[in-house]
Structure 1
């Protein structure tokens, strides 16, 4: 089918599902995801994922995280830095231990068991961001902590991934030097972010008034540049986009840029990201190995929730706020999918379990918006 017709059908169906989910008071991002499930391999099987859709979806999540950075309060982020790091750490340790235990129980190798743990150590902040934005909870205590913890979670997970791949010696016999350089590059990236944030806080940018109409596209170019640099040092692109948003949020153009870029993203790029998640759902990953799927899903949900909830309670968060943070960290989304794909390519996980792992990642992504809305509304 013509790619333009496919995009038109996807967006039209997504609008219909969005309105339906609005009426039944469920997060609209679920409407977008279910439109992909409805048209994709799981139900009608009329549209499949393509390179074009995947590329536009990747742009969509970058724009979404850029907006999250623009809307983030840096003072609040600094205030909740310690709980965010603690939550991220416990949110990694619990899933790694839980999945490693499961792998050893199934007689998998130690490397494969560990790698499955790393896959489920990751958190997809983009899903929770969309729900928090919709419910106007992004700038709350819990919302800020989820953002900080999820970004820290991604950074730590990618670093752990790099260490495991390097230590297996798959890519290069001189892997220890490669790992040393990689960590150095990543430290350099975060120093660059700190320096750019410092500069943005100190400069007035009055000279930019002359080119104000062009600022939105310049801001997007900056977000893409920082995302690209992040990928070069093997930090996820969405982390780079988030930090780009934080840097620009220190300028006086924050509000106008946030409104314009949000309108641009919501036109089709951000919906396409969630639609693409729905298109990725394949029921064979669930029904071909239903017992393993249920066990893995339970471990994935409980370990992440318990780890994040415990970390929040250590810092005296209320039970409701701690529950919001715990649920907000459950989604694995695009980060989990990327790590799983890397594992398959490097033969760190077998093809026998790959489809089940992907199915669990997708289901955690779908249930997170539902549970998050329920716990926020219960307050």
Structure 2
């Protein structure tokens, strides 16, 4: 057996460690670390310096990083948000998003940019809950109408985009057969969740878990990893996208872990595993594999970036005007900018598209570049709009339509300042 080399992995990990230090030393450089991690991957990768290749150790850790990224995204989902009049408006907004994305995707598919317009519709419809929540919190709007509205819309978009991607572009059969597999997968997940919920009520077992949770056994982390790997493997066995299994594993943990105050160190430990090792490797590797040369060598390919950016802004931003009556025009525009912020799902779905030969690496690079620009520009622009429109007490207003005591709560991402930023 050939010996594995770990030099590439060393350089990737070194880049992942140096970037947050650099951001700490340069506080005026207000860029999310994920943007710099991907950019650094481009620079040290084959496209520029050629120092690092995505060999086996790097590729394996990168795949684990993608899986853990979607797992933590599922962990952000708070079931309490998936009900009430505000969420019904969010669902209507997502339907409008799909309606806007469809003709755009059909035109771009006719131009030869993608082979399947449905894939582009799904890519354009997603957002990034984990990137948006810190921005909302920093603006002081997390408990107000703007924050609750955007959180609800982002939650619906994240869930639906991942389900649609797995349903339409899984590995086995057509959409009809995958629908049956998805239903079966859901039944198995519900059964596992119910079994785990019943087991957690056994007092003796709970006592054992508490005694082991902060010991070298780290039992809650181990059980979470078992669930993550198990549902990922189950999704793959059913011919569904593995990212669906990872995402659902996070949602299951979110449902079962209803008393985080009893074990406050548990979720920071998951963050440490993800953002301390796996997720930075994934983002740097994304830069390594980005077809920047193909993008720069073809003017028509480079033109795709601003077109995709405008499409993303239109598809995700215009539905936010549904909230204008509640938020006012300026703040609804800010909500649209936040909803149009997307990167992690773009990276994951373009990898699926390239693997299935539904888009070229150049188009994938253009879409990822679009996501990078959205993360770098849209949240800052949204914050500027919020600040200029701020009125005394406005940030603390509950969302219209919420019943007293039923306001949407900020997702659990508050435990981590930048959940999707590596």
- What's the TM-score once normalised by structure 2's chain length? 0.72
Equivalent residue number for residue 274 of structure 2: 265
CA distance in structure 2 between the aligned counterparts of 1:321 and 1:121, rounded to whole angstroms: 20
The answer as to whether partners of 1:90 and 1:311 remain within 8 angstroms in 2 is: yes
CA distance in structure 1 between the aligned counterparts of 2:350 and 2:163, rounded to whole angstroms: 13
Bigger radius of gyration: 2
Higher helix proportion, which one? 1
The answer as to whether partners of 1:309 and 1:323 remain within 8 angstroms in 2 is: yes
The answer as to whether partners of 2:309 and 2:374 remain within 8 angstroms in 1 is: no
Pair 83,226 (structure 1): closer, same or farther in 2 beyond 3 Å: farther
* CA deviations over 1:17-48 (Å, ceiling 9, x no partner): 33333421211122222221221123211112
Equivalent residue number for residue 293 of structure 2: 284
CA distance in structure 2 between the aligned counterparts of 1:199 and 1:81, rounded to whole angstroms: 29
Equivalent residue number for residue 39 of structure 1: 44
Q: Which residue of 241, 264, 288 corresponds with 1:236?
A: 241
CA distance in structure 2 between the aligned counterparts of 1:52 and 1:330, rounded to whole angstroms: 21
Matched, 1:208 2:206: yes
The count of residues paired between Structure 1 and Structure 2 equals 352
Over 6 Å off, 4+ runs: none
Equivalent residue number for residue 99 of structure 1: 105
The answer as to whether partners of 1:42 and 1:282 remain within 8 angstroms in 2 is: yes
Equivalent residue number for residue 158 of structure 2: 150
SS in 1 for 2:373: helix
The answer as to whether partners of 2:109 and 2:116 remain within 8 angstroms in 1 is: no
The answer as to whether partners of 2:101 and 2:125 remain within 8 angstroms in 1 is: no
* CA deviations over 1:278-332 (Å, ceiling 9, x no partner): 11223222123212431x3233222332222233333556412232112347961
Equivalent residue number for residue 52 of structure 1: 57
The answer as to whether partners of 1:69 and 1:242 remain within 8 angstroms in 2 is: yes
Q: Which residue of 18, 21, 31 corresponds with 1:19?
A: 21
Pair 231,88 (structure 1): closer, same or farther in 2 beyond 3 Å: farther
Equivalent residue number for residue 168 of structure 1: none
SS in 2 for 1:25: coil
CA distance in structure 1 between the aligned counterparts of 2:371 and 2:130, rounded to whole angstroms: 12
CA distance in structure 2 between the aligned counterparts of 1:275 and 1:229, rounded to whole angstroms: 28
CA distance in structure 1 between the aligned counterparts of 2:97 and 2:20, rounded to whole angstroms: 31
Unaligned runs of at least 5 residues, structure 2 = 214-218, 387-422
Q: Which residue of 299, 310, 318 corresponds with 2:318?
A: 310
CA distance in structure 2 between the aligned counterparts of 1:47 and 1:72, rounded to whole angstroms: 36
Unaligned runs of at least 5 residues, structure 1 = 166-170
CA distance in structure 2 between the aligned counterparts of 1:332 and 1:364, rounded to whole angstroms: 9
